[in-house]
A and B are shown apart, each in its own frame.
Chain A
Amino acid sequence: MRVATIAIHTFKESVREKVLYNLVAFALLLIGAAILFGNISVGIERIILITLGLTSISVFGLLIAIFIGIGLVSKEIERRTIYNILSKPVSRVEFILGKYAGLLLTLCVNTAIMTGGFYVALFYQKHSLNGEDVAFLGAVYFILLQLAIVVGIAVVFSCISTPVLSAVFTFCLYVIGNFSNDIQALGGESGSRVLGVCANVLYYLLPNLGNFNIISRVAHGASIPAYLWIGNSLYALLYVTVLMSIAVLVFEEREFR
Chain B
Amino acid sequence: MLAVETIGLTKDYRLGFWRNRVRRALDRLDLRVEAGEVFGLLGPNGAGKTTTLKLLLRLVFPTSGTACILGQPLDDTSVRAHVAFLPENPNFYDHLTAEEYLGYIGALFGLPSALRRRRISELTGQLGLASSLKVQLRRFSKGMIQRVGIAQALINDPDLVFLDEPMSGLDPLGRREVRDVILWLKARKKTVFFSTHILSDAETLCDRVAVLHHGRLQGCGELNRILALSVSATEVVIESPSPDVITEVMPYVSSVVRTGDRVRLEIPDEGRVETALEVLLCRGTKLISVNPVKKSLEDYFVEKVGGSGESSQRVTSAGDSNS
Contact = CB atoms under 8 A, between A and B. Distances in A.
Contacts of A84: 85, 87, 90, 92, 105, 149, 152
Chain B interface SS verdict (over half): mixed
B108 A81 contact: no
Contacts of A9: 93, 96, 100, 104
B140 interface: no
Contacts of B107: 2, 5
A81 B77 contact: no
Interface string B117-136: 00000000000000000001
16 contacts: A2-B108, A9-B104, A81-B92, A83-B57, A84-B105, A84-B149, A86-B58, A87-B59, A88-B80, A89-B80, A90-B77, A90-B108, A255-B59, A255-B60, A256-B60, A257-B54
B81 A89 contact: yes
Interface string B33-59: 000000000000000000000100111
A87 B60 contact: no
Chain A interface SS verdict (over half): loop
A28 to B, nearest CB: 22
Interface string B84-124: 01010011111110001000110111100000000000000
B199 interface: no
Given A16-B136, A89-B78, 13 more contacts: A9-B93, A12-B100, A80-B87, A81-B92, A84-B92, A84-B149, A84-B152, A86-B59, A87-B80, A89-B80, A255-B61, A257-B13, A257-B60
A256 B54 CA distance: 8
A100 B81 CA distance: 24
A133 to B, nearest CB: 36
* Chain A interface size range: 20 to 34
B85 A83 contact: yes
Given A13-B96, A256-B60, A257-B13, A85 B108 contact: yes
Interface residues of B, number: 33
Nearest to B25: A257
Interface of B: 13, 54, 57-61, 77-81, 83, 85, 87, 90-96, 100, 104-105, 107-110, 136, 149, 152, 162
A88 B92 contact: no
Interface string A65-91: 000000000000001110111111111
Contacts of B100: 9, 12
A17 B95 contact: yes
A134 interface: no
Nearest to B149: A84
Contacts of A88: 80, 105, 108-109
A27 to B, nearest CB: 21
A230 interface: no
A226 interface: no
A42 interface: no
Of B13, B85, B162, chain A has the most CB atoms within 10 Å of the CB of B85
A16 B109 CA distance: 25
Of A13, A81, A84, chain B has the most CB atoms within 10 Å of the CB of A84
B93 A13 contact: yes
Nearest to A79: B91
Interface string A103-141: 000000000000000000000000000000000000000
A89 B96 contact: no
Nearest to A16: B95
A87 B61 contact: no
A83 B108 contact: no
A242 B83 CA distance: 34
A9 B102 CA distance: 11
Contacts of B81: 89
Contacts of A172: none
A17 B20 CA distance: 40
Contacts of A90: 77, 108
A121 B277 CA distance: 99
A6 B105 CA distance: 10
A13 B109 contact: no
Nearest to A88: B108
Contacts of A79: 91
Given A13-B96, A88-B105, A1 B110 contact: yes
Contacts of A255: 59-61
Nearest to A6: B108
A206 B107 CA distance: 38
B96 A12 contact: yes
A17 B80 CA distance: 31
